[in-house]
Structure formats: C-alpha cells, structure tokens
Amino acid sequence: MAMTDTEYHQLVDNMFDIIETAVEDAIDNADADVDIDASGNVLQLEFADGSKIVINKQEPLHEIWLATPTGGYHFGYVNGQWLDGRNNNEFLPFVQTAIAQQSGLQLSF
C-alpha cells in the first residue's frame, strides 16, 4: 500500500528531529560550531568552514533529498528504511558519515 502524505511527513519530520538532536548533542560534547536551520521542508547544517549539508523533503516523490559537497542523493522509503536510489545506502548512517567528513563531529543516533 502506498504511503500517504501525512505518513510521509511524520516519517521525515522524525528523521529531521533525530538528526537535529544528534547534532546538538555532538556540538555540546565537542564544543563545535555548527549552525542548524530547520525551516519548512528543509534542514540545513552549516559548518565552521562554511560548507553545508542540506536535507529536504520532496513530497511529490515521497523522498528525502540530501546535498553534500560530494553530491546529491535521493532516499526513498523501502521496507521500513530510507535508502538511496543509486546504491541502497541507508539514510542515517550516510548522514552520519557525511557530517563526520565535513566537520569531524561524531554523531550518535
């Protein structure tokens, strides 16, 4: 059965909350400088060096899109997991690695 828009928003909002909380916890533990901007359908992280990670909802496709300096990635919800359409990477571990590469922050989910 197809996911409803309401279910989609609940799932993505939960992912945004998990990421935001993990980044805030890592900032507190490492005394790091990361700006978090959560507005509307976008969660943007800006690091001390000026680099960014942008995560946004793509409601018409029921996907999460992630932009990093290494590229853009599209994650769809498959069998209870957010997976990248190109290589099946799971969303949260991918975000965890991307943040560590850009900032050195180690996140715990």
Q: Tokens 């997991």 — which residue?
A: 81
Tell whether the model's pLDDT for residue 32 goes beyond 80: no
Q: How far apart are CA 89 and CA 30, in angstroms?
A: 27
Q: What is the pLDDT of residue 1?
A: 63
Structural domain harbouring 73: 5-20+36-103
In a domain, residue 56? The reply is yes
Q: What is the pTM of this model?
A: 0.90
Residue type, 108: S
Q: What CATH number is attached to the domain comprising 57?
A: 3.30.920.10
List, for residues 53-75, the tens digit of each pLDDT value: 999 999 999 999 999 999 999 99
Find, among 101, 98, 92, the residue nearest to 64 by Cα: 92
Q: In the predicted model, what is the mean pLDDT of the chain?
A: 92
Quote the tokens at residue 107. 């996140």
In a domain, residue 97? The reply is yes
In a domain, residue 25? The reply is no
In a domain, residue 108? The reply is no
In a domain, residue 26? The reply is no
Domain count, the chain: 1
In a domain, residue 45? The reply is yes
Q: Roughly how many angstroms between the first and final C-alpha of the chain, as a whole number?
A: 29
